[in-house]
Amino acid sequence: MKQITLRLPDDLHARLKELAQQEHRSLHAQVLHIVEQAVPPQPAGQGILGGLR
């Protein structure tokens, strides 16, 4: 698993934190959930570039 540093505007951080509380998740889990929903699953047998070389 990779680790990144993410800088957020204060207002976005506050909105994410509020949403996380409403969803009974940690802020980390909420951000991860949103990112997982936004990025389509990778088809089997294809690399990060979707088979492009």
C-alpha–C-alpha distance, residues 30 and 9, integer Å: 16
Domain layout of the chain by residue ranges: 8-39
Contact 49, 42 (CB under 8 A): no
Q: What is the pLDDT of residue 44?
A: 78
Say how far residue 9 (Cα) sits from the centre of its chain: 16
Q: What is the pLDDT of residues 19-37, one digit of tens each?
A: 999 999 999 999 999 999 9
What proportion of the chain, given as a percentage, has pLDDT over 90?
Answer: 72
